[in-house]
Amino acid sequence: MIDELDRRVIAALQLNGRASWNAVARWVEVSETTAQRRYQALRERRLVHVVGALELDRTESGSSMLLRVHAKPGKGLELAELLAECPEVRFLAVVTGTADLIVDFVAQDNEQLMRLLFTDLPGAHLMTGTESVAVIRNFTSAAMWDTGLLPPEAVADLRPPTLAPSCDRDDWDRAPQALSGIEQAVADGLAEDGRLPVSTLARRLGRSESSVSRAMDRLVERGVLHFRTLVDPALLGYQAEFMVWLSIEPDRLDAAGRQLARHPGTKFLAAATGRFNLVGHMVLPRRTDLFRYTGEVIGALPGLNASDVTVHLATVKGAWTRLDRSG
């Protein structure tokens, strides 16, 4: 579906979804026009999406609850479609293993969460059971993932200086900071298209370009806004996409999280509540690699009590964006 140049363009945007075309072109070794044209073709085919994503714990944008869903036999895809239309669903994957669907709900408060989980859960009539875990701290996020398709020098050059592993943050005890009106409007606009020109965004918002540019710069400098590149990992050579659900001794959780966050296949990793207190979203080149991974990577984690793996069959939604509708 795509060639090596497409993959390199995607790899550059994975490091920084809003990198200039000059910087992207330099590392993929083509002209700016060619790099931009390749991206536009991928975007029009809905194979790649660049979006602006807010850090929930640094803003008052809500909190994340991961739901492992068991569907009635033969109803998994119907249920996935119902859940994908729910505006509170940020991420949704159809998986195989000890669950049928993995859903990430983002709720503003406990009242909204109770409504979602206990009274208004979409497709509840198609479920046979659920298990929820609340995300309480990130070790690393998808914005930090490196595809490995570009040299380390490209990572150093393209990755924003404000972007660092979550486990290295020292501001976890700081209260979330509410966004101003213009900051929220800018974030909402970039959530649909992270590469939207400032001039276009300003015109849509009825604001000056300078005020929109300053608001975006403030969000990025505070580490509140990241630009994510959403793409099927299989297009980049990663045929195995899966989630790990781990039970770690509480006093070893930080050490285990930091260790697993450093693995090159880790896209997302977070501490959570419940039966599984460490949850991650991972990729590997081949499914056969899972055999060694479970023994040599998961098995080597300090304080490991139990583990589970759910393998992705399809990712329906990511960062509030539908990903299953390609052109």
Choose among 101, 102, 105, 104: nearest CA to 75: 101
Q: Taking a C-beta distance cutoff of 8 angstroms, is the pair 290, 240 a contact?
A: yes
Non-local (6+) Cβ contacts of 245 within 8 A are 68, 276, 279, 307, 308, 309, 310
pLDDT tens figures, 125-165: 999 999 999 999 999 999 999 999 999 999 999 998 888 77
What percent helix, strand, coil does the chain show, rounded to 5? 40, 30, 30
Task: Check residue 179 and report its DSSP letter.
Answer: P
* Average pLDDT for 23-28: 97
Largest CA distance in the chain: 56
pLDDT tens figures, 230-239: 999 999 999 9
Residue 3, number of CB atoms within 10 A of its CB: 8
pLDDT tens figures, 204-263: 999 999 999 999 999 999 989 999 999 999 999 999 999 999 999 999 999 999 999 999
Helix (H) or strand (E) holding 192: helix 181-192
pLDDT at 271 (0 to 100): 97
pTM confidence score:
0.94
pLDDT tens figures, 295-324: 999 999 999 999 999 999 999 999 999 998
